Amino acid sequence: MKTLFFGGSFNPIHRGHLVCSLSAAKSGGFEKIVFVPSHRPVLKSRAYDLALVEHRVAMLMLACQSMKGSSVHYDLDLIELHRSGPSYTYDTVVGLGGTPDHKIDWLIGADQLLNLHRWYRISDLLKLTRFWIMQRPGYPIDWSQVDPLVRSLQNQVVPVPPTDISATQIRQKIRDGQSIEGLVPETVREYILTHRLFIP
């Protein structure tokens, strides 16, 4: 099955991840999306309010179930959770069997582009990985601002429906006692409420 891997903290998984990855998969001819939840995101600050991995995984499973019936199959791979320490995409791609002749397809949002050249072993990672970049509201892509190391990705932008949802916004709404209806699958919303996630 032609597979597109999608890494992130998924704290929590939200409709932006689902709508955009589905659209990216369809335009790239992928049959399967595989979420790769990170153990500890490398570039997020220490103050980042990260839910327990068990919860993030449970929510991802619910989200996969919510996508049943769509033309793309959704699954998850816990490869990064089996390693300790920071989750470097380079290690993950090597673990997934990426080689220069068999590159791993990896989906990222446009907000990652300005930082991508700082990713661990980026030059080696680029040899093993075919990145696909989704547009994201609030993060217009200006290639002149992108580090020359990763400018080769200019042809790898996939148009997706602009979806102005972030996990930060969802966590903030929960802290403020506001509804997150419509921002996450209904089963994920119920899970968050039941387990009182993201409430200080």
> By the criterion CB under 6 A, which residues form the site for ligand ATP?
8-11, 16-17, 20, 108-109, 111-112, 134, 136, 163, 165-168
Strand order in the sheet with 129-134: 73-76, 32-37, 3-8, 104-109, 129-134, 157-158
What does the alpha-carbon distance between residue 49 and residue 133 come to, in Å, rounded to a whole number? 26
- Residue 127 CB, shortest distance to ligand ATP, in Å, is 20
- Residue 113 CB, shortest distance to ligand ATP, in Å, is 9
CB 27 within 8 A of CB 158: yes
- Residue 100 CB, shortest distance to ligand ATP, in Å, is 23
- Smaller CB distance to ligand ATP: residue 92 or 163? 163
Point out the residue whose Cβ comes nearest to ligand ATP. 109
- Smaller CB distance to ligand ATP: residue 100 or 138? 138
- Smaller CB distance to ligand ATP: residue 99 or 159? 159
Alpha carbon of 178 to those of 18, 49, 143, 153: distances in Å?
22, 18, 37, 38
- Residue 43 CB, shortest distance to ligand ATP, in Å, is 10
CA 6 to chain centre: 5
